[in-house]
A = this chain, B = another copy of it.
Amino acid sequence: MTLDDIDAHIVRLLRADGRMSNADLAEAVGLSASACLRRVRLLERGGVIRGYTAIVETPGPAERLVVLTQITLDRQTEEFLNRFEAAVRRCPEIIDCYLMTGLSDYVLKIEVRNAAEYERLHKEVLSRLPGVARIQSSFAIRTVVSGRPGPL
């Protein structure tokens, strides 16, 4: 999908304020409300805008444990990668997952409520993934910043 300048402007504004009204948005980008809304819907249906969310300081009533997990694969066929990544996408505790340079290493950022939940995740999900050679977990003592939107 290709974005023109107006689309980029819309995306920028909606990243800055996801609850901006379509009317304000239209005025800011110099379109009529209907034309603007059509673009927003296309961006949503085209997968550029995946959704909207509230930015919350304490995501739940309970504490969160952040675990950074490095997973090394010993098999790297496309089928294994696809199955691995499909499983990752199905696991909501996995916040981020990146395929890193170097070897076939994935780095995962995982959020769970407590150590027991991580143990469950480790046993029932991570260790059962196909082609996994090694799993190495590091725990966060403290969150300095998290999930920021990045530069606008």
> How many A residues are at the interface, by size bracket?
35 or more
Residue of B nearest to A2 (CB): B61
Decide if A54 touches B138 in the complex (CB within 8 Å): no
Cross-chain contact A109 with B93 (CB below 8 angstroms): no
Contact between chains at B151 and A53 (CB < 8 Å):
no
A3 at the interface (CB under 8 A from B): yes
Copies in the complex: 2
Q: A8-B61, A59-B11, A60-B8 are in contact. Are A98 and B144 (CB under 8 A)?
A: yes
Which residues of A1-36 have CB atoms within 8 Å of chain B's CB atoms?
3, 8, 11-12, 14-19
A48 at interface, CB cutoff 8 A:
yes
**Closest CB in chain B relative to A58 CB, distance in Å:** 6
Task: Give min CB distance, A36 to chain B, whole Å.
Answer: 14
**Could you say which residues of chain B place their CB within 8 Å of the CB of A147?**
95-96, 147
Inter-chain contact A53/B149, CB cutoff 8 Å: yes
Chain B residues contacting A100 (CB-CB under 8 Å) are 68, 138-141
Give per-residue flags for A57-80: 1 if the beta carbon is below 8 A from chain B beta carbons, else 0: 111110010101000000000000
Q: Which residues of B contact A61 (CB under 8 A)?
A: 3, 8
Q: Are B54 and A58 in contact (CB under 8 A)?
A: no
Q: Contact residues of A with B, CB < 8 Å?
A: 3, 8, 11-12, 14-19, 47-61, 64, 66, 68, 85, 88-89, 92-102, 106-107, 109, 111, 138-152
